Amino acid sequence: MKIRCFLVFVALSFLAVPAGAGDNVLPYKLKSGKPYSGTTLNILAVVTPQFKSYDLRDEEFESLTGINVNWTHIPFVALQEKIASVGVAADGSFDVVNYLDSWGPANAYWLEPIDAWLKRDGISMDRYPEAFKKSAMFKGETLGFPLRAHPMLMFYRKDLFAKHGLAAPKTWNEVVRAGKKIKQQEGIGGLACYFGADGNRQNLFIWLNYIWATGTDVFDKQMKPAWATPAGLKATRDYVDLHTKNNICGKGAVSNVEQDARIQFAQGNAAMMPVWWWAYSGFYNPNQSKLTKDQVGFAGMPSYRGKTVTYAISMPYSISKYSKNKEAAWEFMKWLSNPELDRRNAIERSVRGEKIVNNVVTHKSSMADAEVNAANDNIQKAALASLANSDIMPQIPEWPEVGDLLSNAIQKASTGGNVDQLMKEAASKVERILRRAGYY
């Protein structure tokens, strides 16, 4: 009798387990039984080796779930317009979309929050550095996973620094001193600068390092432009002075965008460049660069006035609210964001016979992983340090308009315009924009 009662108890215990909780033997928390088999998902992604690798690896996901995946890869310069048009069309052409974090607030109305799914499947966003986690959120809701995300590092010519007895710069003052010496003695730019205003607001990237280090934010607690304060104006002057006063920038600084500056460094025409970590492999790729790996070093971002606060950026993936396949899309998101894929993607250099070089990872565990670091010259460890005190651009729908005003003001300042006057004028215009939007 006791044995029979025990067996009945065990049987009832199994019956009491929620469906799927005990029988899900698939990895990455995917649902067993292929409930969405036959579904086709359309994915919009930016062109990058990292995401090409995901595309090449998706046979694993299709085999595990029976879900078919179609990828559309868009160059970054065309992505913002494409994202906007997809949202306006509201037709669900793409189930999952990839975008720059600062575009998220303006498009949040058609991006599906994932918090309920995260809770249901026991996935924590704490697996990402805080700045990356924050970049995929809007008004307290998580809109996606930050699957392409970048800290900034200072890249420099190890050979030239050794030749002139210089150490990797730890402060912006040291950047100026090293830049002047190398420019004078080598005849190349000390720093590859990009003050050009092209609509992507790239000339704000380094400016933010200066502003935040003063303890000033872009906006104060009342959403007033904080860059127009004495501390903010001083920081902006010092940033612009890299070119106008200290004269350490390479050629074309006032019109260069990030890509121009990267090419300048890679072609041996500048000794330093602050830029995203993904640029590292390109700086010694013989198809893109005149430099060898031994010539390229990297260090953390320099401090300003004794403090370092770095700018981080991400390109999240989100599910469209207009998708007719949201649950299947969530299965894809779980596979796409799993830590093991993140890790492998930075270690393996060939996927289905195609050469892939990628050092971008977004999970904290990947950045601390010994094999990942061994495969990438320990750049992930440097990234973790850069992300220790990091932030992102303001997450407000009006940011593209506000950011363009700031970007244009800084570009004009780099040509010799009055910094204080330009930044104060930008502040006045921004106040009018935010007043219309109801902030005050």
Domain extents for the chain? 23-150+313-389, 152-311+398-436
The pLDDT assigned to 77 comes to 87
Dihedral Cα 267, 53, 360, 258, nearest 10 deg: 40
Taking the alpha carbons of 123, 129, 135, 141 in that order, is the dihedral positive or negative? positive
- The sheet with strand 152-157 has its strands ordered as 272-276, 152-157, 296-299
- What's the first-to-final CA gap in the chain, in angstroms? 75
The pLDDT assigned to 149 comes to 96
How far apart are the C-alpha atoms of 169 and 190, rounded to whole Å? 12
DSSP per position, 213-240: HTT--SB-TTS-BGGGSHHHHHHHHHHH
Report phi then psi at 72, rounded to 5.
-125, 115
Q: Mean pLDDT of residues grouped by 10 in the chain (440 residues)? A: 36 37 74 97 97 97 98 94 94 95 94 98 97 96 97 98 98 98 98 93 96 94 96 97 98 96 98 96 94 97 96 97 98 98 95 93 97 96 93 93 96 98 98 96
> What is the architecture of the domain spanning 152-311+398-436?
3-Layer(aba) Sandwich (3.40)
Taking the alpha carbons of 290, 293, 294, 300 in that order, is the dihedral positive or negative? positive
Model confidence, pTM: 0.88
Q: How many residues does the chain have?
A: 440
DSSP per position, 92-109: -S-SEEE--GGGHHHHGG
Q: How far is CA 355 from CA 29, 53, 56, 345, 389, in A?
A: 29, 9, 11, 12, 34
Domains 23-150+313-389 and 152-311+398-436 share a fold: yes
DSSP per position, 375-394: HTTTHHHHHHHHGGGEE---
Q: Would you say domain 23-150+313-389 falls under CATH 3.30.70.890? A: no
- Per the CB < 8 A criterion, the answer to whether 281 and 349 are in contact is no
**The one-letter amino acid at 184:** Q
The pLDDT assigned to 110 comes to 97
> Within the chain, what is the greatest distance between any pair of CA atoms?
95
DSSP per position, 97-160: EE--GGGHHHHGGGEE--HHHHHHHT--GGGS-HHHHHHTEETTEE--EEEEEE-EEEEEEHHH
How far apart are the C-alpha atoms of 122 and 116, rounded to whole Å? 10
How far apart are the C-alpha atoms of 173 and 158, rounded to whole Å? 19
How far apart are the C-alpha atoms of 396 and 102, rounded to whole Å? 8
Nearest Cα to 154, choosing from 250, 279, 240?
279
